[in-house]
Structure 1
Amino acid sequence: MTKIERNKQTEHQFNAFIDYYLSFPSYLGSYKRSFDILIKDVLATNSHVDYITYPLLFLARHCMELGLKTNIRYFAKYSGKDDYVKAGTHDLENLFRAFELHVEKTFENLKSKYGIEVEKEDKKSFKDLCKEVENLNSTFHALDKNSDAFRYPVDKEQNPSFNKGERINIIDVSELLEKSMTLFVHTADVFAKYTDYADEIENYYEGLMKEQYEQNMPY
């Protein structure tokens, strides 16, 4: 390990403000940057990926989990559903289904409650990207259902975490993770033009009701 020289610059550089970024999007970004740094290190050092495979795959899998949970929390406001909003699960398949449910219900509620129709092209782009992301999600679910196989060599029953001969191409993982991040980071941005309008309508009616209430208050 490289010894870190202690000086004013490094003391500031390595002083972590761990209470500053307590949000799901911040955690997601942090784990994804860590994944990218390790990938670049493998390329730069011409090392075989095996020497950091497990933490690398854990980071990628955790990005998937955080990305799904981040979006579930965002869309729950508009979907009217509470499925997996406060989930203590690591099950990627259930989280992925819940994510799709919240987005689909958001589409329905935007139309039924606010008369807002989501454009067909936006729906299609979302569904097409979901199909690609589901490939990586399913791979991680099969390899590490409970989010412990990349952390420990054996499961709770002391069985090997992986079968003999199991392989996974990290380049494939990296490429699919990039597409996953596009889905996780930009889905809310793409549909913000609809949800922001719904927020404006809600705020307008709340203000109107407050005004009417205050006008009827006895003085």
Structure 2
Amino acid sequence: MKRMEKNNNPRELAESRFLVQFGFFKDFANYLNSFERAVELLYAKVSNAEETPYSVALPLLFLMRHSLELGYKYTIVELHYLNEIPYEPEKFKHRLERLHSALRELFNQAATKWSFSKSTLEDFEHHYANTEKCMKEFKQLDDCSMTFRYPIDMKGNPSLSPDDTVNLLALKRSYDSGMLLLDHLADVLQPCYEMLEEFHADTD
């Protein structure tokens, strides 16, 4: 079967422009930023009418759902560090509801340990509710990170119901609101990280 050769470099850029050094993706923050950027680029194709929703829906929904999971795990890793307890990757797996509950539990531990201000606690509650709304929407669509990757589940059942629909615009708005907490909580708590590092430096 003959196929027309694709022009993968239409602007004839130097090959160095295509090189990716994996050392750049060294932690959860870098992974998260990369997936979120991909979400924005792909969604823009639909919002700018360059692509139909049908042409990008599955990869877009996968990227959104996976970046939500990455956001949870990034924040949970940071809270484990702040609480000085080891992070156990196998404990959480891909279940969004489990990750959401763990986020609350770990934040409450850190709030007690570090005496968070009233405004920090109130901000957390506000954004946690938005994240929960987003989590529940993706849980209904794809509870264990399989639906948008394969047309059938592990038991051979269809991953998607042909009668179901999803509004990408409404879901993207919920996603944007829900990701705020997961993107920025570690930044808000940065003074606590600095205090902890200073403490360890003094005791070494």
Fold similarity call, TM over 0.5: yes
Normalising by the smaller structure, the TM-score range is 0.7 to 0.9
Task: State the partner residue of 1:104.
Answer: 108
Unaligned runs of 5+ in 2: none
Cα drift, residue 196 of structure 1: 2.2
Equivalent AA in structure 1 for residue 96 of structure 2: L
TM superposition outliers: structure 1 runs of 4+ over 6 Å: none
Change beyond 3 A, Cα 1:53–1:133: same
- CA contact under 8 A between 1:76 and 1:85: conserved in structure 2? no
User: Looking at CA atoms only, which structure, 1 or 2, has the larger radius of gyration?
Assistant: 1
Indicate which of 94, 99, 103 corresponds to 1:95.
Answer: 99
Q: CA RMSD in A?
A: 2.2
Match of 2:183 among 156, 180, 185: 185
Q: Which of 8, 21, 25 is matched with 1:21 structurally?
A: 25
Letter in 1 for 2:185: T
Which piece of structure 1 moves more, 58-67 or 74-83?
74-83
C-alpha deviation, 1:136, in angstroms:
1.1
1:55 corresponding residue in structure 2: 59
Aligned to 1:129: 127
TM-score (norm 2): 0.87
Sort the Cα spacing of 1:16 and 1:187 in 2 relative to 1 into closer, same or farther, 3 A: same
Q: Give the direction of change, closer, same or farther, for the CA distance of 1:193–1:5 in structure 2 (3 Å limit).
A: closer
**Conserved? CA contact 1:72–1:85, under 8 Å:** no
Residue matched to 2:45? 41
CA distance in 2, matches of 1:75, 1:97: 13
Inter-partner Cα distance in structure 2 for 1:17 and 1:8: 21
How far apart are the structure 2 equivalents of 1:161 and 1:27? 26
State the shift of 1:193 in Å. 2.1
What is the rounded CA distance, in whole Å, between the counterparts of 2:30 and 2:196 in structure 1? Answer: 25
CA shift digits 1:10-55 (9 cap, x unpaired): 4111122223322111111111111111111123344321111110
Query: Could you tell me the TM-score, scaled by structure 1's length?
Result: 0.82
Post-superposition offset of 1:129: 0.3
- Provide the identity percentage: 25
Equivalent in 119, 139, 142 of residue 141 of structure 1: 139
Separation in 1, partners of 2:11, 2:165: 44
Q: How many residues align?
A: 200
